[in-house]
């Protein structure tokens, strides 16, 4: 989902083609993953299973406007 920020941020609907192309899953599965990540359930499940999340993983990515206003290199 990192390849298309609006998709990951929840600012765009998820078409079947996008879900397959970006995530390799159905649109329903992609929505479930996005919801679990944004609600903290993904982090909770990883802790429950004692697995590490990828470096740089965040539950709530900064809003698009926050990213545009941030100084370069931050």
pLDDT tens by residue, 14-37: 788 878 887 788 888 888 888 888
Q: Which residue has the tokens 């990192």?
A: 2
Best CA proximity match to 8, nearest among 37, 40, 44, 47: 37
Question: Is the distance from CB of 36 to CB of 57 less than 8 angstroms?
Answer: no
More confident residue, 72 or 62: 62
Q: What percent of the chain lies above the pLDDT cut of 90?
A: 12
Question: Is the distance from CB of 74 to CB of 66 less than 8 angstroms?
Answer: no
């Amino acid at each position: 989902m990192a390849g298309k920020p609006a998709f990951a941020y929840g600012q765009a609907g998820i078409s079947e083609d996008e879900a397959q192309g970006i995530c390799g899953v159905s649109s329903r599965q992609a929505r479930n993953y996005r919801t679990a990540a944004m609600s903290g359930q993904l982090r909770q499940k990883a802790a429950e299973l004692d697995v590490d999340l990828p470096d740089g993983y965040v539950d709530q990515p900064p809003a698009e406007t926050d990213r545009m206003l941030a100084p370069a290199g931050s």
